[in-house]
Amino acid sequence: MSRFVSVALVGAALLVSGNAFAANYNAAAGKATYDASCATCHKTGMMGAPKTGDKAAWKSHIAKGMDVMVANSIKGYKGAKGMMPAKGGNTKLTDQQVGNAVAYMVGLSK
């Protein structure tokens, strides 16, 4: 019975803490990737990219959660207001680097 209780408590803690997947990304490390590969579009809104820091523009994206935002950033995305090529057009980026950059932008845009 105590193992069941322990598992239940851990599961509840994960639910309460929010998206455990998001904890796998390092926003501070994402700044370098953002500066090198993401800022071109996300600073200016090119191709409909939500501008970094624009809380209204990011609200609907953030509501989808980190899993969706990172997946869309890795594989590419076409939305009602624009599009994003896979990995922002820099196919040399790792999935981790993309996730870190997304976490960086989200942190500035909440």
Q: What is the CATH number of the domain that holds 27?
A: 1.10.760.10
Distances (CA, A) of 99 to 9, 13, 108: 28, 23, 14
pLDDT for the residue 103: 98
Does residue 14 lie within any of the structural domains? no
Does residue 105 lie within any of the structural domains? yes
Split the chain (110 residues) into runs of 10 and give each run's mean pLDDT: 46 40 84 98 96 97 96 95 95 98 97
Does residue 104 lie within any of the structural domains? yes
pLDDT for the residue 69: 97
Q: Which domain holds residue 36?
A: 19-109
Q: Is-contact 2 82, C-beta < 8 A?
A: no
pLDDT for the residue 28: 97
**How many domains does the chain contain in total?**
1
From the centroid of its chain, how far is CA 16? 20
* Dihedrals phi, psi of 8, to nearest 5 degrees: -65, -40
Structure token digits, residue 17: 């803490």
